[in-house]
Amino acid sequence: MSGTGLAFYLTTLLVYGAVDVIACLGLNQQFGVAGVTNFGYIIFQAAGAYTAATLSLPSQSANGGFQTYIGGLGLPFPVPWIGAMIVGGLLALPFTFLVGRRLRGDFVAIGLLVAAVMANLLVTNFRPFLNGAAGLALVPAPLHSVLDPQSLSYQWGYSAVAILLAAGTYWFCRRMTESPYGRTLRAMRDNDEVADSLGKNLRMLRAQMLVIGGMIAGLSGGVLVGFITLWAPSAWGYAETIVLFAAVIIGGAGNHAGAILGAILVPLGFEEASRFIPAFGPAGLIPALQWVAIGLLIVLFLWFRPQGIIPERRRTTPAAPEKAPSTVQFAVHPRWGPAQAATGLEADAGAGIGEAVLEARDLSRRFGGVDAVAQVSLALSRGRLTGLIGPNGAGKSTTLAMLAGTLPASGGSVWLDGRDITSVPAYCRARLGVVRTFQLASEFKRLTVMENLLSAVPQQRGESLRGALLGRRYWAADEGVSIERAWDMLDGFGLRAQADEYAGDLSGGQRRLVEIMRALMAQPEVLLLDEPMAGVHPKLATEIGQHLIELCHSGMTIGVVEHELAFMDRFCDPVVVMAQGRVLAAGTMAALRQQPEVVEAYLVG
Amino acid sequence: MSLLLASFGFGLVAAAVLAIATVGFTLQFAVTDVLNLAFGAVMIVGAYVAYWINQAGITVWVGLLAAAVVGAVLSFVLNAIVYAPFQRHHASPIAVVIVALGLTLIIEFGLQSYVGGTSVSYTMSQGHTLQAGGLQLTVVQLVILALALASMVAVHVLLAYTRLGKAMRATAANRSLARTCGIRSGRVVTVTWLLSGALCGLAGTVFGMNAGSFNATSADLFLILILAAAFLGGPGKAYGAMIGALVIGLATEISAAYITSSYKDVVAFVILFAMLAWRPTGLLGTRS
């Protein structure tokens, strides 16, 4: 290869590499960080490429009519690239209806896969739109009127711009990911139902990911088509998405550096390796074997190293100075704490002790033909620790889920502070102050304990997309306050040493504590706990009970489902007894023990 | 009118091929909890097995049986060496789907590297064309219809009247509960892979007959139709799959006659997306 030949080869390599890096970063943002699996990712790149092409091509009559297409606006650089990003993002909008909470993640992925295949079919067969199967050719290179696209300096310039854009994309993705917003995305990835119950708007977050990923993919398509000057349906078969998935999985999903490595190893590596393999076998054998190799790599990596070559980095928190052991054991959260006593809130709380805050009225839930909960009416009163007991299958957890909104009610209504919130979704109820915990372990596994706690803090400055993009300077102070609270909380529960461990690596009891701490970090007005003491050491359970009582005294309303009668005896008043989906009785434990039907239904059996 | 009837006939045959495949696919998902996107790839392996037997001078109907056997064995093996180990390691559903896509590439392009990229056809007679009130169908098309009907009846009898079928339904509803009730769910899952795999091999061969010619990657688009039909009826619902296949088969062929055949599969896509937006659990799915 001559010197210039080598130089042309190198520049081509750099542009392809930059394009693959941009595409993989976008996919990693969706899939690795936010857990949105988009099997139709390639159509967003295709949309960008077609947009850039038709925006820069002259009107179709100008080229003798050998190709037909819409657009043909002949716009100057950089308008086609900006258009590519915009159209990539706009194309995501019709798909955002798929990503609500109603549809399982793998079903959404299938829907997008189907969309990708169909889009390719449509563009291939409908020639007037984008010249059908033949595709678009002779796409003008950017700035071709002032520079010579065939010159080596142009090629170097192009690769430099492409690399700059790749670097910019990396910077953009990192800014999103390494922020409270990114933490929320990762929480959603690890457990969407729990994120929902903590007030995260899943539909909005996923829609943002689809649009942002679409814009990034669109940009990659625009940069690519400006360089290769042609674009056809064969370049964006659905399998090309699998190549990008392979890259992200092999590089390390959730880690943007891993996405870059994957982009260089897989799409670029495979493309280039085939240049150096001596031709053997019949035509088409080598490409076929390449596909087999990509399939094998996906399966083997997911089996042997699912975290990829560069795993997701664990985010550690700079340690805060340890407080003297004499400080209060538990941190009382500020809304009800003494700090705000002067604001009048405390006075309100004091006056309102005992009044109903969260009410169920004739609440029912049917599963198939079974009445899990039938016309349950109960009220949680301010300043009270209300217990909910009953035999297995009594409908306790179902009632709690309907109060929190994580399960829709089949009938009846839920009222918060005199307002009907039956149709208010779970994340909005969380924002109104109703926060629940779950019976099954529900920590965000690949978030550290500290991150689990921080994820629950409401109204974080850096938790919106805008806040994240404004940068650390915008949200660091706010975050510092939350971290301070989290340290106090960790001290109170004796988990300071575990702050930087992944929550998924903790013992069962510790995970329960993380969950309770996380719920408290949300500063709820009403806290709903579903069997919080399961797996917790009895001594610690007592301490937690005392702490819950303290919180009640400061005005919080707490409901707890628990099997441990000793806990009920000691801390809960009133206690509601449920059996077979109905409320059997309510009152103090002492009073309940006098009632034969209660004893029969639960206390003995 | 004759156009409508003719396309109705084509639609019925297309629906028959689709129904065999979709019922197999949806049974797999219901009982084993694997969204096996490699289903289309296994179908094509079955189609090639029938082709090789056909090339040896034996009638393709014998090949059809062999394809069913190979489909069953290959599905069983895929589960035993790939899906089941991943599930035992608590891989997320989405990871299993990605694994299935990887397997699709391995099988399809492994096959292509062996048979090459050109399309092949069965050597067979289409038989007489029979007419009844404007409906025109060849003997082969009638046999495909009969095969589909027989498969559907067999699946119905299996699910509704046999112990195995009840065990399958119980396992589909709640695997751990079924296990504690004394159902050997591991064995049920294995039998499901074998049965649905047999349907898969069968579907591959009738797909090859109906399509006229096929190659190693021909089932890619057909898989999309399977997914559309399965999701239309409600994922995991065997009877829903039958209805879904009928709707998609008829809709695609009738629209092919009236609009243009290039876009007939896009109709399936439109139906699927309308369904996902309106009722994501499918026609026969429960509202949740």
Chain A residues with CB under 8 Å of B82 CB are: 299
How close, in Å, is residue B223 to chain A by CA atoms? 9
Q: What is the pLDDT of residue A344?
A: 38
- Measuring CA to CA, how many Å separate B209 from each of A130, B48, B139, B143, B246? 34, 11, 12, 11, 19
- Residue from B25, B36, B96, B98 to probe the interface with A (highest A Cβ count within 10 Å): B98
| CA distance linking residue A515 with residue A490, whole number of Å | 12
| CA distance linking residue B157 with residue B150, whole number of Å | 10
Mean pLDDT of A585-597: 85
Residue of B nearest to A365 (CA): B288
Residue A295 DSSP code: H
Q: What is the pLDDT of residue A255?
A: 95
Which amino acid makes up residue B100? A
Chain A residues with CB under 8 Å of B102 CB are: 242, 246, 294-299, 302
- Residue-range domains of chain A with CATH: 3-237 (no CATH), 338-604 (3.40.50.300)
Task: Check if the beta carbon of residue A198 is closer than 8 Å to that of residue A184.
Answer: no
Nearest to B269 among A118, A249, A285 (CB): A118
Mention every residue, 6+ apart, whose C-beta is less than 8 A from residue A304.
none
Range from A329-338, A433-442, A580-589 carrying the lowest mean pLDDT? A329-338
How close, in Å, is residue B114 to chain A by CA atoms? 8
Question: Given a cut of 50, is residue A345 above it in pLDDT?
Answer: no
How close, in Å, is residue B198 to chain A by CA atoms? 24
Residue of A nearest to B114 (CA): A285
Q: What is the pLDDT of residue A228?
A: 94
The answer to whether the CB atoms of A238 and B273 lie below 8 A apart is no
Chain B residues with CB under 8 Å of A285 CB are: 113
Mean pLDDT of A220-242: 94
Nearest to A295 among B97, B105, B276 (CB): B105
Give me the sheet containing A582-587, strands edge to edge: A434-436, A526-530, A557-561, A385-389, A575-579, A582-587
- Residue from A27, A191, A291 to probe the interface with B (highest B Cβ count within 10 Å): A291
Enclosing H/E stretch for A515: helix A508-521
* CA dihedral angle for residue B195, residue B198, residue B203, residue B209, rounded to 10 degrees: -160
The answer to whether the CB atoms of B93 and A249 lie below 8 A apart is no
Q: What is the pLDDT of residue B1?
A: 57
Nearest to A117 among B82, B85, B224 (CB): B224
For chain A, give the percent of residues with pLDDT over 90.
60
Strand partners, B120: B214
Q: What is the pLDDT of residue A108?
A: 87
Chain A residues with CB under 8 Å of B265 CB are: 118, 121
Nearest to A106 among B35, B105, B276 (CB): B35
The answer to whether the CB atoms of B109 and A111 lie below 8 A apart is no
Nearest to A291 among B85, B105, B263 (CB): B105
Q: What is the pLDDT of residue B50?
A: 97
Question: Given a cut of 50, is residue A325 above it in pLDDT?
Answer: no
* Structure confidence by residue, pLDDT tens digits, B157-207: 999 999 999 999 888 888 878 887 878 888 899 999 999 999 999 999 999
Nearest to B103 among A97, A282, A299 (CB): A299
- The residue ranges of chain B whose pLDDT is under 50 are 287-288
Mean pLDDT of A41-63: 90
For chain A, give the percent of residues with pLDDT over 70.
92
The answer to whether the CB atoms of A111 and B91 lie below 8 A apart is no
Report residue A107's pLDDT band, with 50, 70 and 90 as the boundaries: confident
The answer to whether the CB atoms of B101 and A288 lie below 8 A apart is no
Nearest to A284 among B117, B221, B235 (CB): B117
- Residue from B36, B88, B105, B215 to probe the interface with A (highest A Cβ count within 10 Å): B105
Mean pLDDT of A327-346: 41
The answer to whether the CB atoms of A295 and B220 lie below 8 A apart is no
The answer to whether the CB atoms of B231 and A303 lie below 8 A apart is no
**Structure-token match 């026609």, residue found:** B283
Residue of A nearest to B110 (CA): A292
* Structure confidence by residue, pLDDT tens digits, A391-408: 888 889 999 999 999 999
Alpha carbons within 13 angstroms on the beta-carbon side of residue B274 total: 9
The answer to whether the CB atoms of B109 and A291 lie below 8 A apart is yes
The answer to whether the CB atoms of A368 and B286 lie below 8 A apart is yes
| CA distance linking residue A429 with residue A199, whole number of Å | 7
Alpha carbons within 13 angstroms on the beta-carbon side of residue A425 total: 13
The answer to whether the CB atoms of A288 and B109 lie below 8 A apart is yes
Report residue A320's pLDDT band, with 50, 70 and 90 as the boundaries: low
Q: What is the pLDDT of residue A64?
A: 66
Mean pLDDT of A573-596: 87
Residue spans of beta strands (DSSP E) within A183-319 = none
Q: What is the pLDDT of residue A568?
A: 87
Alpha carbons within 13 angstroms on the beta-carbon side of residue B126 total: 13
How close, in Å, is residue B188 to chain A by CA atoms? 24
Mean pLDDT of A503-528: 91
Residue of A nearest to B105 (CA): A295
Would you state the structure tokens that stand for residue A100, as one six-digit string?
Answer: 């609500």
Cα R_g (chain B), whole angstroms:
19
More confident position, B275 or A496? A496
Q: What is the pLDDT of residue A351?
A: 54
Distance, CA of A553 to chain centre: 36
Q: Is the ipTM of this complex over 0.90?
A: yes
Nearest to B113 among A102, A245, A285 (CB): A285
The answer to whether the CB atoms of A125 and B262 lie below 8 A apart is yes
The answer to whether the CB atoms of B94 and A105 lie below 8 A apart is yes
Residue A415 DSSP code: E
Q: Which of A69, A55, A115, A70 is nearest to A91 (CA)?
A: A115
> Biggest alpha carbon distance in chain B?
57
Mean pLDDT of A222-245: 94
Chain B residues with CB under 8 Å of A111 CB are: 231, 272-273, 276
Residues of B with CB under 8 A from a CB of A: 35, 37, 82, 85-86, 89, 91, 93-95, 97-99, 101-106, 108-110, 112-113, 116-117, 220-221, 224, 227-228, 231, 235, 262-263, 265-266, 269, 272-273, 276-277, 280, 286
Would you state the structure tokens that stand for residue B199, as one six-digit string?
Answer: 């349907």
* Structure confidence by residue, pLDDT tens digits, A422-465: 999 999 999 999 999 998 878 999 999 999 999 999 999 999 99
Question: Given a cut of 50, is residue A343 above it in pLDDT?
Answer: no
Which amino acid makes up residue B151? S
The answer to whether the CB atoms of B113 and A302 lie below 8 A apart is no
The answer to whether the CB atoms of A291 and B85 lie below 8 A apart is no
Domain boundaries, chain B: 11-219
The answer to whether the CB atoms of A295 and B106 lie below 8 A apart is yes
Mention every residue, 6+ apart, whose C-beta is less than 8 A from residue A255.
A28, A32, A308, A310, A311, A312, A313
For chain A, give the mean pLDDT.
Answer: 88
Q: Where are the alpha helices (DSSP H) in chain B?
A: 2-32, 39-55, 60-78, 84-88, 93-115, 139-161, 163-173, 175-180, 185-211, 219-233, 238-258, 264-278
- Residue from B26, B87, B97, B101 to probe the interface with A (highest A Cβ count within 10 Å): B101
Chain B residues with CB under 8 Å of A284 CB are: 112, 116-117
**Phi-psi domain of A319 (left: phi exceeds 0; alpha: psi -120 through 50; beta: other):** beta
CB pairs under 8 A between A and B: 127
Question: Given a cut of 50, is residue A112 above it in pLDDT?
Answer: yes
